[in-house]
């Protein structure tokens, strides 16, 4: 039976029907613990379906593991899309899970208070939300993440076991080995498959189909900054800066496996969780586009847009400061002009990569420190925009939490709006691309207003579009993406004009 009626699960009979039919729609949304074996599985596991009375259903892998079940070696719960953490459950829980994926609780339970503070809630309330939506505590979620990520690294890469332990957040190799022996009854090395060695670390990120890969690549290609990003051969490549070190990441699509294939070349294995978390955000891996589309399609205007692009995702930004700087550069100019300006900024003060890399990847996007120290006079933008960039860099250096999920999204946007040169459009755009607020909606955007004109009998005022968008909550960001896609399709060139 479903072990906790508070958890966001269908009733037990529906859970079992989904298991028996191996319904893909439930993959990552629920897990089944089989009491006769002590194993928990994804609902799509190819093993013979257990009897109904032997099944317990859980809203997350962490809940199943906390209840004493061990992961199935056949269906590999670590490869489930979203691992039950999709943001449709709770915005606070979703943001917490994102931070946990980046290692926020790798120090153990002592980090709960700090995590709760970053989210703007009390520690007790955070635990209550986790038990309600995921059926497990934050610490259990972090522990399960460590084990499942380590298991994925073991089975999909040839990384040394010491590196696997470090990359997945274990404090020591001894603790890593003990955990795997306790959970699987064997050492970690016994789970390794033999495969040819590859340069870098290559992993697969599962998503819940459909996925409009061409639309995602087109969005990224239209904005790819020279030296930092390359979109070619159906792949996205970019430079990566993390804690003073530089590397690269490459993302390709594997539709037959409903996966993105991510290859990371970086000098520190400890950075892998943070880099993968960014890839998930940029490519919107964990979105349930079916559920979002069904909601948006209730509006007769959006229905045909959703039907024409059923797998459309909302692309994210790689880094909050980068998104904000590019948004400032793009105020009042076209996307292509903003891209050229960003390329100039990279050439002016971006840090150069050393060693071999993919052709075209030469620099990291400038950090706040490098931008603050640069002479922006050669950038070729108005003085007010140079001042806005300088103010943005200074504010980022003064407040390291400026673009971090700290407190509410509304509080973060208020901090952004207080900066010189940052208006409502820029704040909403940063919330959408960097803070990953699924309800962000830059109503003053020219592209949105053009696309909405067909439905509203003429180009609306932003306040009119905002009123219409009330029915699209809590997924207005996805509605915006559908409108932008329709606007681009209706024009021979991308003409999204920025309004700061």
Distances (CA, A) of 248 to 8, 98, 106, 354, 356: 38, 21, 24, 11, 10
3-state secondary structure labels for all residues of the chain: CECCCCCCCCCHHHHHHHHHCCCHHHECCEEEEECCCCEEECCCCCCCCCCHHHEEEECCHHHHHHCCCEECCCCCHHHCHHHHCCCCCCHHHHHHHHHHHCCCCCCCHHHHHHHHHHHCCCHHHHHHHHHHHCCCCHHHHHHHHHHHHHHHHHHHCCCCHHHHHHHCCCCCHHHHHHHHHHHHCCCHHHHCCCCCCCCCEEEEEECCCCCCHHHHHHHHHHHCCCECEEEECCEEEEEEEECCEEEEEEEEEEHHHCEEEEEEECCCHHHHHHHHHHHHHHCCCCCCHHHHHHHHCCCCCCHHHHHHCCCCCCCCCCCHHHHHHHHHHCECCCHHHHHHHHHHHHHHHCCECCCCCCCCECECCCCHHHHHHCCHHHHCCCHHHHHHHHHHHHHHHHCCCCCCCCCCHHHHHHHHHCCCCCCHHHHHHHHHHCCCCCCCCCCCCHHHHHHHHHHHCCCCCHHHHHHHHHHHCCCHHHHHHHHHHHHHHCCCCCCCCECC
What phi and psi values does residue 88 have, to the nearest 5 degrees? -75, -10
Catalytic residues, by residue number, are 41, 445
**Cα separation of 84 and 58, whole Å?**
9
Contact of 390 with 83, CB cutoff 8 Å: no
Pick from 311, 249, 308, 309: nearest CA to 280: 249
């Amino acid at each position: 039976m479903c072990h906790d009626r508070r958890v966001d699960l269908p009733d037990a009979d529906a859970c079992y029907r989904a298991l028996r039919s191996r319904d893909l729609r439930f993959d990552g949304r629920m897990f089944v613990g089989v009491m006769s074996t002590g194993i928990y599985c994804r609902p799509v596991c190819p093993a013979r379906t257990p009897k109904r009375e032997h099944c317990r259903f859980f809203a997350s892998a962490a809940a199943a593991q906390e209840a004493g079940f061990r992961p199935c070696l056949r269906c590999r719960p670590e490869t489930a899309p979203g691992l039950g953490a999709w943001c449709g459950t709770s915005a606070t829980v979703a943001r917490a899970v994102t931070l946990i994926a980046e290692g926020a609780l790798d120090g153990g339970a002592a980090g709960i208070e700090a995590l709760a503070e970053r989210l703007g809630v009390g520690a007790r309330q955070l635990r209550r939300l986790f038990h309600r939506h995921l059926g497990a505590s934050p610490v259990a979620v972090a522990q399960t993440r460590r084990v499942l990520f380590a298991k994925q690294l073991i089975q999909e890469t040839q990384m040394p076991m010491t590196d696997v332990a470090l990359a997945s957040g274990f404090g020591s190799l001894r603790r890593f080995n003990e955990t795997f022996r306790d959970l699987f009854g064997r050492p970690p090395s016994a789970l390794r498959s033999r495969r040819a060695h590859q340069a870098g670390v290559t992993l697969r990120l599962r998503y819940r189909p459909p996925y409009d890969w061409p639309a995602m690549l087109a969005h990224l290609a239209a904005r790819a900054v020279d030296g930092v990003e390359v979109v070619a051969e159906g792949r996205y490549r970019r430079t990566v800066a993390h804690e003073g070190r530089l590397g690269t990441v490459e993302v390709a699509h594997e539709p037959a496996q409903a996966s993105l294939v991510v290859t990371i070349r970086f000098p520190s294995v400890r950075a892998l969780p943070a880099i993968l978390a960014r890839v998930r955000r940029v490519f919107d891996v964990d979105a349930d586009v079916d559920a979002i589309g069904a909601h948006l399609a209730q509006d007769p205007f959006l229905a045909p847009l959703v039907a024409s692009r059923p797998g459309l995702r909302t692309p994210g930004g790689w880094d909050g400061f980068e998104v904000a700087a590019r948004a400032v550069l793009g105020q009042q100019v076209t996307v292509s002009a903003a891209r050229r300006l960003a390329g100039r900024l990279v050439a002016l003060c971006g840090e150069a990569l050393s060693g071999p890399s993919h052709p075209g990847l030469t620099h990291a996007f400038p950090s706040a420190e490098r931008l603050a120290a640069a002479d922006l006079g050669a950038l070729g933008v108005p003085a007010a925009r140079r001042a806005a960039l300088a103010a943005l860099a200074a504010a980022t250096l003064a407040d390291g939490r400026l673009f971090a999920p700290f407190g509410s999204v509304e509080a973060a946007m208020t901090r952004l709006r207080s900066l010189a040169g940052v208006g409502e459009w820029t704040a909403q755009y940063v919330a959408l691309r960097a803070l990953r607020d699924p309800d962000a909606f830059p109503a003053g955007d020219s592209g949105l207003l053009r696309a909405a004109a067909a439905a509203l009998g003429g180009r609306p005022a932003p306040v009119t579009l905002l009123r219409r968008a009330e029915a699209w909550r809590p997924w207005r960001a996805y509605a915006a993406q559908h409108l932008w896609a329709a606007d681009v399709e209706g024009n021979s060139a991308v003409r999204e004009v920025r309004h700061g």
